Structure 1
Amino acid sequence: MSLDSTVILQANLQTTILGTFLAHVAGFFAYRRIGNFPGVAAAGYIIPTFAITYGAVFLSIFFFRLDYSRFQAAASFLLCTLWYFGHGVAVRGIEPYRLAVVPGGDVEKLETIPGVNWLRVTSAKLKVHDISGVVADLRANLSQEWVRYITQSALSGIPVFHVKQVRESLTGRVEIEHLSENTLGSLSPNHAYIKIKQAIDWLTAAIALLGLLPFLAAVSVLIRLDSPGPVFFRQERIGYRGQPITVFKFRSMKVSDEEGHDRERAITKVGDARITRLGRYLRRSRIDELPQLLNILRGEMSWIGPRPEAVVLSRWYEEELPFYPYRHIVRPGITGWAQVNQGHVAAVDDVLGKLHYDFYYIKNFSPWLDVVIVLKTIQTIITGFGSK
C-alpha cells in the first residue's frame, strides 16, 4: 500500500503541520527560558507551558478560519508533552545537578539551599568529575592556587559562577542590605517592556472585566446577603513611583467601628475574627482581588508586580528598610513573585524577605518571568497558599 502523494498537499494538513511546528518551537524556547527561574524546572510546568503555546497558535488559526486537523493537533500536543516528561526524567536520573564549591568568602550558607548536590572542594589539586559548574566568591581574596583552579575549570569548559549569582538563581531572591557599586543599575527594569506590559494589561483587563461582569454581580449580591456593609473595600495604598492610589477589593471583613491603631487595623492576622464566612472563601480563592481590574484600567496597577501596601504600612517599612521604596519602580500587581513564593506577610522581618523577592522580580523583569508567575498563581489559587 502506497501513501497517496496528494495527502501531504491538502491545505488542512499543511496548516496543521505548520501550526504544530510553530507551537512546538515556541514551547521549547519558552520552557527553556522559564526553566531558568527558581522552582520552575519541574514536570508540573511542561503541560501548562505547551498548552499556552499550542492554544495560542491554534486559536489564531481558528480566528482566521483556516482549516486544520484537530486530531493531529491534539496528537502532536500529547506526543510533545510525553517526550519532555520522559526527557526530564532521563536527565534528572542520568545527570544530577552537581556544583563544586571553592572555599573562601561568602560560600558557607550555600549548602543549606536544597535541590543541588554541593561538593566542597578541599584542595586546589583535586579534580572533581561530573559537575555542572564551579561556584566561588569571586570578590573574596582567594589564594593563587584557587585562582588557577578556577581558571583551569573555565578553560576546560566547566561554567564558573559567582556565589551571589547562584544564590539568586536558586532562591529567587536578590539580597541587598547596603549600597554598593552598580547596585541600583543591576536592578533597573526593562523600560520598553514596562510600556508593552501596560498596553497588554489594559487590553486583557478590559476583556476580563466585560467577560466577568455577570460573575462579579453575583459575588456582589452574595456579599450583601452575607453581612451588612458595602460591597467594595477601598484602601489608600502606595503605587507606581510612590504615588498613593485607591485600591478596590471585594469586602471580605465585617464592618467595625472599633478603635485601634491604624497599623494594627491594616494588618490581617491568621484566623482574623473580622473575616466573614464568605470572605474566607473569597480571600482563599483570590476572588476578592478581582475589582482591582479597575485599577489596571486606570493605569495604576498591573496584573503582575509587587503587592501594593497600605500607606500606613508602607511608611513603617520605609523607616525600617531603607531600600523598601525602590520596589515602586514598577507598577504594583494583583499577583507577583513574592506572593506566589512567600504569601501574605506583615512583620518587618518577613517583609525584608518579601523585598528580596521583589528585587529579584525587578532585576529579571521580563515576559518569561511573568509567564512563570501566572503558572504559579494558578497553583496558588488551587492550593490557597499564603491566604489569610
Structure 2
Amino acid sequence: MIRLFKHYVPHAVLLLGLIDFILLIAANNLAWTFRASQIGMEPGLFSARLPTIGLISAVTLTAMIAVGVFGAEALRSLRYAGARLLVAESLAILGLAFLDFLLPGQTYWRSILLYAMGLSILFLMLNRLIVGGILGASAFRRRLMVLGAGPRALRLKLLSQRPESGFTIVGYVAMGEGNISVEEAIRRSAVDDLSRHVADLGASEVVLALEERRNSLPLKDLLRIKTLGVHVNDFSSFLERETGRVDLDTLNPSWLIFSDGFSSGRVISSAAKRLFDILASCALLVVSLPVILLFALLVKLDSKGPAFFRQTRVGLYGQKFTMVKLRSMRTDAEKDGAQWAQKSDPRITRVGGLIRKLRIDELPQVWTVLKGQMSFVGPRPEVPQFVNDLEEKLPYYAERHMVKPGITGWAQINYPYGASIEDSRHKLEYDLYYAKNYTPFLDLLILLQTLRVILWSDGAR
C-alpha cells in the first residue's frame, strides 16, 4: 500500500485509478473530436483543449470515488462496477452541465457530454475486464510471512482469504508458542536461518503475530530481515493499515503512544478544517434552507409535535451541546429514556422514514457546525447516557472525543448503523482510526464517500 497524507491506499486501486484517468481523457478527447467533425469545425491542438478535457475527466473521476467505483465490491463484480459507473457518469454530467450553465461559453460544449459518457463507460468497463482481472491475481498481492502460529496468525490467515485482500501469506513460523492455530506453520527450531528463509520465500513483509512478545522477540533475526530490505511490522499496525480501523482486541496504551498519529501537525489541519466548516456551512445553509422549511412543514403535517428535535449530545473533550435535527420519530419516542434505533423502528413516522433515508433530517446540524460545536466530518455524537455506559464497557472510548463530532465520519461510511454494544465497539475502532490519522485528505475522502451512503441508503435507520 501507499500512504497518502497518513491514509493507506492499495497499489491496485491507485494503478486502476491512474489508468481510468488516462482513459477518461482519451474518451473525452474522442468525443470532442467527433463533435467538432459533426459541425464541420477543426478540433484544434490537443494541448489547447487538454485543460478542458482534463477538468471533465477529473470531475468524472471524483464522482467515481464518491459512489464507490473503487470499492471492494466494484473491483470484484463487473455488474456492480457497471451500475456504479453509470451513476458516477450521470452525476458528473449533471455537475458539468450546471457549471456550463453558470459559465456559458467559458468551459465546454454540453453536447459532447453524452458522447463522452458512452465512450467513458465502454473504456472503463474494458479496463476492469482486462486490467481489473490482472490486478485481482495473486501475482499483484504483497507476499507476507507471519511470525507466530496462534490466534493472531489465524486472524491474518482469514483476512488474507478475503477477495479484496491485497496480500497473500507465504509462510508461518511458530516462535515457540504452545498453542498452534495454523496447521501449516513450521517450528522455529526447524529453520536454521530465519532471514534466509524469508528471502527464499520471496516475502516482502514480515508481521509479528506473537501472542506474548515479552522475552520472545527474535531481535537478531528481525534486524537481519530488516537489513535485507524486508519491511517488518507489528500486528496492530498491520491490521490498522489493512482494515482502516484500530483493532481493540490487541490494542495497548504503549502502541497508541509510540505509533505514528496524533501529531502536532494537526494544528494546521484543524485550522483548515474549521475554515472549510465555516465556508461550507454558510453556503449549505443558504442552499438548503428552502428544503429544511419544506420538510419541517411536512413533519408538522404528518404527526403532532414540533418540527425540530433537540437533544443533548457529547462533543469535543466530553463537553455537552444541543444538537438540532428535523424530527423523524414520534414525540414520545424516548419517554422511557434514550434507546438505540432499531431496523424498521416503529417509533419512526412516515415522513421520518423518508428524511432518514435521504439524510435530510441531518441538515439543521449545519447550524451546529457553523457555531463550532460540530464539524462536517468526525465521530457521531452520542447522548450522555450512552457515552457513560459505553465508556464503562469499551476501552479507549473516551479517546474518540479528542476530535469534534461530525455529521458524517469514517465509521459512518464504513460500518452500518450501530444498535448495540457490539456495533458500538466496531464503530469505535473506525473512530479511533480517524482520531489518530485525520487530515484534510481523509476528510475529503469521507465527504465524497458520504454520497455513496446517501444514494444507496447504507446504514440509514
Shorter-chain TM band: 0.7 to 0.9
Distance in 2 of aligned mates of 1:135 and 1:171: 15
> Any residues of structure 2 matched to 1:101-180 within 5 Å, and which?
101-104=145-148, 106-113=152-159, 114=162, 115-116=164-165, 117-121=168-172, 122=186, 123=191, 124=194, 126=197, 133-137=205-209, 140=213, 141-143=216-218, 146-147=221-222, 150-151=225-226, 154-155=228-229, 158-176=230-248, 177-180=251-254
Q: Deviations over 1:284-334 (max 9, x none)?
A: 222211111111111111111100001111122223335222212211111
Aligned-partner SS, 1:279:
helix
The alpha-carbon deviation at position 60 of structure 1 amounts to: 10
8 Å CA contact 2:308–2:327 kept in 1: the answer is yes
User: Structure with the greater relative contact order (CA < 8 A, sep ≥ 6): 1 or 2?
Assistant: 1
Aligned match of 2:392: 319
8 Å CA contact 2:272–2:440 kept in 1: the answer is no
Aligned-partner SS, 2:309:
strand
Distance in 2 of aligned mates of 1:67 and 1:268: 47
> Any residues of structure 2 matched to 1:338-349 within 5 Å, and which?
338-349=411-422
Output the amino acid matched with 1:286: R
8 Å CA contact 2:333–2:347 kept in 1: the answer is no
8 Å CA contact 1:98–1:119 kept in 2: the answer is no
Output the amino acid matched with 1:229: G
Aligned-partner SS, 1:109:
helix
The alpha-carbon deviation at position 219 of structure 1 amounts to: 1.0
Distance in 2 of aligned mates of 1:130 and 1:30: 39
Aligned match of 1:270: 343
Aligned match of 1:183: 257
Aligned match of 1:382: 455
Aligned-partner SS, 2:376:
strand
> Any residues of structure 2 matched to 1:1-388 within 5 Å, and which?
14-21=47-54, 42=75, 66=106, 68=108, 75=116, 78=120, 81=124, 85=128, 87-93=131-137, 95-104=139-148, 106-113=152-159, 114=162, 115-116=164-165, 117-121=168-172, 122=186, 123=191, 124=194, 126=197, 133-137=205-209, 140=213, 141-143=216-218, 146-147=221-222, 150-151=225-226, 154-155=228-229, 158-176=230-248, 177-180=251-254, 183=257, 186-188=260-262, 190-256=266-332, 259-260=335-336, 262=337, 265-388=338-461
Distance in 1 of aligned mates of 2:427 and 2:318: 18
8 Å CA contact 1:234–1:248 kept in 2: the answer is yes
Larger mean Cα displacement after TM superposition, 294-303 or 167-176: 167-176
8 Å CA contact 1:239–1:332 kept in 2: the answer is yes
8 Å CA contact 1:8–1:14 kept in 2: the answer is no
CA 248–41 in structure 1, closer or farther in 2 if over 3 Å, else same: same
Distance in 2 of aligned mates of 1:334 and 1:344: 14
Aligned-partner SS, 2:305:
coil
The alpha-carbon deviation at position 199 of structure 1 amounts to: 1.3
Larger mean Cα displacement after TM superposition, 193-202 or 37-46: 37-46
Distance in 2 of aligned mates of 1:185 and 1:118: 24
Q: Deviations over 1:202-236 (max 9, x none)?
A: 21122122112222222112111211111011000
Q: Deviations over 1:215-258 (max 9, x none)?
A: 22221121112111110110000112221111111111111288
CA 382–23 in structure 1, closer or farther in 2 if over 3 Å, else same: closer
Aligned-partner SS, 2:373:
coil
Which segments of 5 or more consecutive residues in structure 1 lack a partner in the other structure? 1-6
Q: How many residues in Structure 1 have an aligned counterpart in Structure 2?
A: 373
8 Å CA contact 2:147–2:207 kept in 1: the answer is no
The alpha-carbon deviation at position 372 of structure 1 amounts to: 2.8
The alpha-carbon deviation at position 68 of structure 1 amounts to: 4.6
Tell me the TM-score normalised to structure 1 length. Answer: 0.78
Q: What is the aligned-residue RMSD (CA, Å)?
A: 4.2
The alpha-carbon deviation at position 94 of structure 1 amounts to: 7.1
Aligned match of 2:177: none
Output the amino acid matched with 2:225: I
Distance in 1 of aligned mates of 2:369 and 2:297: 23
Distance in 1 of aligned mates of 2:371 and 2:208: 47
Which segments of 5 or more consecutive residues in structure 2 lack a partner in the other structure? 1-41, 173-185
Q: Deviations over 1:3-54 (max 9, x none)?
A: xxxx7877xx65531344577689999999xx9x9859948588959x88xx
